[in-house]
Amino acid sequence: MKLSADHFIFLLTSKHLDYEVALHFKKLDNTGTERILTRFEMVDQSNKAKERPSLLEEPFVIDITAVESKGTKPKMAGKGRNDLNIDYRIADGATYEMLNNDNFCLFRAFELLRLKFMLPRQRFSEYKRDEKRQLENVRALCHACNINVALPFYSIEEFGGRIQDYYNVLHPGVFRLFCFATYGKMKPSWKSDVEEYKHEICVFFDEGNDGAVGHYDAIKSIGKLFSTKNYCFGRGADISTIENSICNSSKKCVDCGVIYQIRHHKQKEHVCGQKFCKICLGFHAPRDCYIPYRPKVKKEKRFVFFDFECTTDFKPDPQLMRFKHQVNFCFAHVTCTRCIEKGIWDQELEKSCALCGRFRTYAWSPFEFWNTDVECRKVVEDPLAAFTKWLLNFETEVLGMEPGAKKRRKRKNAENNRDGDAMEVDEDEDAVDEDAENNWMLGYEEAGEKPESVTTYAYAHAGSRYDHVLIYGEMLRMGVRPELIRQGNHLLEMKARKTGVYTTTVFRDSYKLIPIKLANFVKTFGLEIEGVDNKKYFPHKFNKSENYGTVLDTLPPMEDYYPGGLFPAERAKFEQWYAENREKGFELCEVIADYCKTDVQILAHGLVKMRQLFLSETRHDITDSVTIPSGCMKYWVQLAHYGKERVAIIPHLGYEKRGKQSTIARKYLKWRAEEELRENGRVLRHVESPGGEFKFGNYSLDGMIERPDEDKNLAIEVNGCYWHGCPSCFPDDAAIVGGGETAGALRARDAKRTRDIAREFEVEIIWECHLNAMLEDDPAMKAYFDNCPDSGPIDFHDAFFGGRTGPEYLGASVINPETGDWKSRTIKVKDFNSLYPSRNMYTKYPVGHPTLVQFDKDVEWKCPAHIVGDDGIRLEGIIKCYAVPPRHCHYDIPVLPYRLTNRTLFPLCRTCSEMYPRGLIDPEYNCDHFDDAERGFSTTVTHIELEAALRSGYRVTHVYRAYIWRLACDWSDGLFHSYLLKFLKMKFEASGYPASCTEAGISEEESERRKQDHIDKAKQKDQVDLEADRIKHNPKLRYLSKLCLNSLWGRFALRNRLTKTEIVECHAELAKLLNDSKIEVSSIDQLTEKFWMVCYKAKDEHVVEHSTSNVAIALWTTSAARIHLLESLKKVYGPAPGVERYDTHILYMDTDSIFYEYLTRLGDPFPGGDQLGELADEYPNHTIMKFICAGPKSYGLWLRNNATGEDEYKMKVRGITLDSDACERITFEKMKDMVLNKLGQFSIRYFVFSSTCTFVNSGK
């Protein structure tokens, strides 16, 4: 059997693998087999590393799925708009008859009409009779459009786009091509894709009879063709028959020829050069977009809070040790915005609610239970299937609505909206009178309110990684195709749109709005739920079908509760509870119902409370957002709008969009130059070599190698696929690629360039896609590219670094290891109070669009005053430069970050870092690199961080380019003030007064004085006006304020190029995605026989920024935070100007914390404080006895309680959740032994982690 497929999916299955492994998915080429084998080898090596047998020792299965991407989309069954059935006859004299004997009637017609507009009337009349000249123009047209003149016939569909592209170059913005046919009624049968034009060029196609080839004629006048004076190209009809013609709602600009809308005031006044923006939904010049403010339309909602309990003992395949979760109990609570506003959302309904129906609570299970109160319980074999069907059919089956019923909506006047913007409201909302509003529960007839259609929002806590996955599978089995928003393996949102009997249902994860464990809801929000004190314990291991109906005299064994998954403190509480309740009876069917209902009650009360708090403080409904950062951003955008702040939307690829390919091209040419010199002794000239690019006539060659021993020198062209129309990536000549041109036009232009160069050189063309394939197959080449200094265009993300984390010493102790006596030293661990919010408060941010300054020259910057441009103006913005660290900087604290193999380092020598990217333990190591080329590195940083580096001894020897914000209006020193002051005030007041204000033994007058000092200090240092009568402990508001303070700034850096997921159900839809040149398909999974899941990303060149995209604000925040940490680290050694402490040692630093030690008798060098951005003692009531560190984010502390004298241990290990099982295996002593065994038993007590990535003897 011959396969015509061009894409393949390889799934490897083996008894030695935990899961199926996708070996390969992509379009195959000549290197495909080698890549598959390489991937197979990597999987086998990974399996061996887990001490498992080789995959080759047992039979394995490779499942190959072949996909043909050349599918075509069939006609879709459906009902469209009624076509305008207008009869017309072609009037005599409506066309110029093309009386040609060749096959060029199409080209003759277009050229004739083009010259009709370009030539004077007399010369045009002569041209119509000059057949020789017509033929010359046709051949010139075909040559320019790369059209074969030997074809038997030509169609408008195949060649019309090329002709339009040629005319766009010849006469930009002048012509648009149309074709009419006898079968097309009054609408064009074909038209070119052009937005801005002045004149229409129309040809007429007459079908041939009895299968003969048709003929094209040039249309003199479209009015004559259809015998009408009112033809509209927009509607394709006689506008005298159309009430609302596009001609009545649009105008054409006499200056630029653009057609713009005037209906509904979409654009109040046309401005040449401005276009409609899909991001901000406004009109402006390209790359002049600002974050828009769009008031949220008020919508009523239905909420369903639910939870599943599952058995875990079912094995789909008896041969494999894999178990499948099966739902055996489901509980749901239904409410709506109306019931919440009336305060009856958690009460049983007396009569049906229009949105909730008759019942408030539901339960599904395969067994009976009696002791748990549920309004509607259903005994079903498959609770998951029953619940999913009930939820999707809620309005038709529960409310009894007719399928397809819709809710009418109307506009509400702006003056009735406090924001001053028109908004949609429910039609019934204005219609109800006061009596009906007060007696809404009397409702519709005797049964309750008349049902209404609204969107259902279904919430489960941590549902994105569990409950939603189960429902997702069930929906696919039902034939429902949901829309997904994924984050890795998390289903953040899953939407089933209203179709037929189905209700529009949106599944969301409450954890994304309240990121705490469900067990903490009651304490955090102060919930008061009847019969519920807190989340209960349940023996999940005992949840088996064989235990239905089993009654125990005692609780199940403790192991059935999985206590090892609890944190040590939680496990202690559980063990106490178990001991107190062990002798109580246990019946699974009753306990599981009570447990599941309790979880749903806690979830419902917590989310409703969170919604009420956020709504009362911000006037925004948090359930309008999928995540808490999204909700915070909407509130900030409103504040910025009313505060007259204009914040730019930064383009995804920056402001040098064409420079994307040049970065990889420059690196390739550098790599190729080194390879040629090493292997052949030849010199490759390129843009960064001495002498720069080689010039040949009007052309600059990307690379050129002199080959005296051969006939011709070698010219190397490195082409970006998108900007040059790669034939592999864009095989369709009509595909629109870089600069809005077609791939065919770009290839034709490049072909001429290549022919000219080939006269003197042998030409080698390297495509970007080929380069990427080489990088996948050659690890050494990829490592070179990763570490090669980048002198190309600025990528804002290159300046976006996180915090600095790592040890300076691997251990410290206040106990002498030889004598056991206490040493006179103290160890402190201090955290910043709200580090990032403090930087948001005190940092000046760039908010406008920057100006690009191109330098590419050598400099000698040694101090902040040197950071100026050629015009002497100070450079404030993002600078790409080559920085050389000093051999020793202040207190040995490096400043500038450097990204090496996706790791952020702070080196004093680049070469040492590259030699030992993961560090080196060598007490005798000494850096022997002195040359700037060895020590320095290319970096992209903010000017504030570069200034700090120059003050610490760094030098800048070369500047490539910079984005600077020149104007004062481009900066804002109060960008976040309104937002922060709102939540800082809430946090300070909800935290209550400090303990010192109410401590025992002080007088009432002293207490009042301290309280007033607290209020005054907040005003003086943090600009927060506290109200004395509102300062009291409130855990709900304190949690909300802390959450909102830390959830905003990162939203600006939300990736624009997120992976998208689409479910397809036919080959045509799959082929459409595979052939879409604007996206990169990363994976395809066959979910059922009907559905496939396709994951893809937009290519960089086609990414559309989200409406709040400004990575500059986010990177400025992290840069300011690193500087604040740097200044704090220096204060440990020098607490005041001119004062230095030689007894202090920084042990460890994290993004927002510092571990250090000092001589006790000399006092704490950095006392800190409790205000915003100040360092506060993390363990004020403990003495830190020992500190041990195994690396970044991996350390242990031995603490001693000052009051009780009891010892405690705090452990942290990156990537490991330290539950009670893990804590039994990872202890302080074991970590200490691991570190000592790794390092050996050194006599010295401390090891310093130097900036050159080595451990050396500190000499202390």
Last residue of some domain: 217, 242, 267?
Answer: 242
User: In this structure, are residues 860 and 871 in contact, taking their beta carbons and an 8 Å threshold?
Assistant: no
Higher pLDDT, 528 or 1137: 528
Q: Would 362 be classed as within a structural domain? A: yes
**1221/1218 Cα distance (integer angstroms):** 8
The helix (run of H) or strand (run of E) holding residue 638 is helix 628-642
Confidence at 411, pLDDT banded by 50, 70, 90: very low
Rg (CA), the chain: 36
**Does residue 950 register a pLDDT over 90?**
yes
| 470: its two tokens | 């189960």
Confidence at 816, pLDDT banded by 50, 70, 90: confident
**Does residue 1121 register a pLDDT over 50?**
yes
User: Under 8 Å CB-to-CB from 995, ≥6 apart: which residues?
Assistant: none
pLDDT digit string, tens, across residues 715-739: 999 998 888 888 888 887 777 676 6
Last residue of some domain: 724, 758, 792?
Answer: 792
pLDDT at site 264: 46
**1034/985 Cα distance (integer angstroms):** 13
Q: Integer distance in angstroms from the first to the last C-alpha of the chain?
A: 76
Half-sphere exposure (Cβ direction) of 812: Cα atoms closer than 13 Å: 27
pLDDT digit string, tens, across residues 372-385: 999 999 999 999 99
The residues facing 1254 across adjacent strands are 920
Mean pLDDT, the chain, rounded, equals 82
**355/339 Cα distance (integer angstroms):** 9
pLDDT at site 517: 93
Residues 494 and 606 both lie in one domain: yes
**141/123 Cα distance (integer angstroms):** 20
**1048/1052 Cα distance (integer angstroms):** 8
Pairing label, strands 190-191, 21-27: unpaired
Q: How many domains does the chain have?
A: 7
pLDDT digit string, tens, across residues 269-284: 677 877 777 777 777 7
**732/751 Cα distance (integer angstroms):** 16
Q: Would 331 be classed as within a structural domain? A: yes
pLDDT digit string, tens, across residues 1020-1078: 888 899 999 999 999 999 999 999 999 999 999 998 988 899 998 877 788 788 878 78
Q: What is the mean pLDDT of residues 393-415?
A: 61
pLDDT at site 457: 96
pLDDT digit string, tens, across residues 603-613: 999 999 999 99
**DSSP reduced 3-state for 760:** coil
pLDDT digit string, tens, across residues 547-565: 998 899 999 999 999 999 9
User: Under 8 Å CB-to-CB from 1238, ≥6 apart: which residues?
Assistant: 921
pLDDT at site 16: 65
**359/332 Cα distance (integer angstroms):** 11
Confidence at 184, pLDDT banded by 50, 70, 90: low
Higher pLDDT, 208 or 433: 208
Q: Would 251 be classed as within a structural domain? A: no
Q: Would 289 be classed as within a structural domain? A: no
User: In this structure, are residues 562 and 1219 in contact, taking their beta carbons and an 8 Å threshold?
Assistant: no
Q: Give start and end residues of each alpha helix (H) in 697-804.
A: 721-724, 743-758, 768-777, 779-787
pLDDT digit string, tens, across residues 1203-1213: 999 999 999 99
**Does residue 117 register a pLDDT over 80?**
yes
pLDDT digit string, tens, across residues 287-331: 788 898 888 778 899 999 999 999 988 776 666 667 789 999 999
**Does residue 410 register a pLDDT over 50?**
no
Residues 966 and 1011 both lie in one domain: no
Pairing label, strands 825-832, 898-900: unpaired
Residues 1091 and 1131 both lie in one domain: no
Residues 305 and 347 both lie in one domain: yes
Highest mean pLDDT among 12-26, 888-902, 970-984: 970-984
The helix (run of H) or strand (run of E) holding residue 695 is strand 694-696
**1211/1195 Cα distance (integer angstroms):** 6
pLDDT at site 583: 92
**Does residue 1253 register a pLDDT over 70?**
no
Q: What is the mean pLDDT of residues 1010-1023?
A: 90
Residues 1195 and 1162 both lie in one domain: yes
Half-sphere exposure (Cβ direction) of 401: Cα atoms closer than 13 Å: 25
Confidence at 341, pLDDT banded by 50, 70, 90: very high
Q: How far, CA to CA in Å, does 445 sit from each of 164, 395, 442, 448, 450?
A: 65, 19, 8, 6, 8
Residues 482 and 334 both lie in one domain: yes
**Does residue 1149 register a pLDDT over 80?**
yes
Last residue of some domain: 758, 792, 826?
Answer: 792
Q: What is the mean pLDDT of residues 600-605?
A: 97
pLDDT at site 428: 39
User: In this structure, are residues 1235 and 810 in contact, taking their beta carbons and an 8 Å threshold?
Assistant: yes
- Whole-structure pTM value: 0.76
Higher pLDDT, 1250 or 1235: 1235
**CATH code of the domain containing 778:** 3.40.960
Q: Would 634 be classed as within a structural domain? A: no
Residues 1119 and 1238 both lie in one domain: yes
Give which of 1249, 1188, 1251 is closest to 923, Cα–Cα: 1249
**Does residue 408 register a pLDDT over 60?**
no
- Among 484-488, 493-497, 681-685, 815-819, the least confident range: 815-819
**Does residue 265 register a pLDDT over 80?**
no
**Does residue 874 register a pLDDT over 80?**
yes
User: In this structure, are residues 323 and 648 in contact, taking their beta carbons and an 8 Å threshold?
Assistant: no
Longest dimension (CA), the chain: 116
| 51: its two tokens | 């001490």
| 230: its two tokens | 């009112």
**3-state helix/strand/coil string of 520-565:** HHHHHHCCCECCECCCCCCCHHHCCHHHCCCEECCCCCHHHHCHHH
User: In this structure, are residues 175 and 140 in contact, taking their beta carbons and an 8 Å threshold?
Assistant: no
User: In this structure, are residues 1148 and 691 in contact, taking their beta carbons and an 8 Å threshold?
Assistant: no
Neighbours of 460 (CB within 10 A): 25
Give which of 496, 499, 491, 423 is closest to 463, Cα–Cα: 491
Structural domain for 205, as ranges: 95-242
pLDDT at site 446: 44
Confidence at 1000, pLDDT banded by 50, 70, 90: confident
Q: Would 414 be classed as within a structural domain? A: no
CB-based burial, 673-688: b 16+ in 10 Å, e otherwise: beebeeeeebebbbbe
Residues 501 and 608 both lie in one domain: yes
Residues 825 and 908 both lie in one domain: yes
Q: Would 950 be classed as within a structural domain? A: yes
Residues 363 and 334 both lie in one domain: yes
Highest mean pLDDT among 20-34, 254-268, 293-307, 1083-1097: 293-307
Neighbours of 944 (CB within 10 A): 16
Q: Would 205 be classed as within a structural domain? A: yes
Q: How far, CA to CA in Å, does 1188 sit from each of 807, 1227, 1235?
A: 10, 11, 8
pLDDT at site 261: 66
pLDDT at site 710: 86
Name residue, tokens 């749901």.
332
What phi and psi values does residue 297 have, to the nearest 5 degrees?
A: -70, 135
Residues 964 and 982 both lie in one domain: no
DSSP 8-state code for residue 397: I
pLDDT digit string, tens, across residues 574-598: 999 999 999 999 999 999 999 999 9
pLDDT digit string, tens, across residues 231-243: 777 766 666 554 4
- Among 739-748, 756-765, 813-822, 1247-1256, the least confident range: 1247-1256
**424/1165 Cα distance (integer angstroms):** 60
User: In this structure, are residues 747 and 725 in contact, taking their beta carbons and an 8 Å threshold?
Assistant: yes
Residues 968 and 825 both lie in one domain: yes
DSSP 8-state code for residue 394: I
The residues facing 1095 across adjacent strands are 1061, 1083
Neighbours of 763 (CB within 10 A): 17
Q: How far, CA to CA in Å, does 745 sit from each of 35, 103, 1075?
A: 34, 23, 20
The helix (run of H) or strand (run of E) holding residue 202 is strand 199-206
| 399: its two tokens | 């409310």
Confidence at 1240, pLDDT banded by 50, 70, 90: low
Neighbours of 1245 (CB within 10 A): 15
